[in-house]
Structures are given as C-alpha cells and as structure tokens.
Amino acid sequence: MAAGYAAPIVELYGGSKNNYKLSQKELEKTLGRADIADKKIALISIAGAFRKGKSFLLNFLVTYLEHLQKGGKGEWFDETTVLDKFNWRGGADRDTNGIFIWSVPYILEDQNGEEVSFSMKRGSQSRQITVAFQKM
C-alpha cells in the first residue's frame, strides 16, 4: 500500500481568513479511486476548535488502521511509534486551517465479511467551512 498524506480538500482562498475553496482534485484522488468505487465508505471525522488534539487523535487512528491493514498481529503502538501522519505541534498557535482527509483509504472487512473503505478527516470548527460543504 502506498504511503498516505494529509490531503487538503478545503483550504483558505485568496489570502482571506473567511473564504474557503474545495480542492476537487484532492477529493477525487482520495475518494474517486477505482479500488474503492464499489465499496462502502466509513468516514471518521474529527472536528472542533483549534488546538484541541484533532490531529493527535487522527494520528493514533491512522496508525491503528495501518496495523489492521497489515494483518493486526502484535503490538500496534509502543514507545518507538512516530505520530507524524497529520501535522501537529504543541503551543497556542493554529497549525492548520481547512479540512484535510487521509489520502489513502484503508480497506478492511466488517463483521459480515464485506469490505469497507475507511478514511479519516480533520476539520476546523468554522461556519464558513460548513457552508462551503453544503453548497457542493
């Protein structure tokens, strides 16, 4: 499986703090893939105010899903595990703005043996972003 990255699907536009633009290209590259076209999609979404640990939590989820994708044997987390999938840092300043989705879905079987594609999304708590998605 190819390495993934936090793909920006909604970003600030034109230097404004309130105008957002959908990246159709990134969205199609992530969710428009032929290998998941006929599968259910489970989108795990973490949204909220900035500096509350959204990226930190998503790093744990991506690491765990990678572990399951590889067969789920052994420990999935220890002191050597690096949480670097979604960018994050300590402090009071905002690190990212917009909505990011993990670029590689994880295809796992549900309890009935049906394949489900899992993807993670991080978003800011913003009325403007919500309106942008409602207009899509």
3-state secondary structure of 91: coil
Give the number of other Cβ atoms within 10 Å of residue 10's Cβ: 25
Report pLDDT digits (tens) over 92-104.
Answer: 776 667 788 888 8
Just give the CATH number of 6-134. Answer: 3.40.50.300
* Stated pTM of the model: 0.72
Return the domain boundaries, the chain: 6-134
pLDDT at position 128:
45
Report pLDDT digits (tens) over 73-86.
Answer: 889 999 999 888 88
* Measured distance CA(122)–CA(108) in Å, rounded: 21
Report pLDDT digits (tens) over 15-48.
Answer: 777 788 889 998 888 888 898 888 888 888 887 7
Residue type at 60 in one-letter notation: F
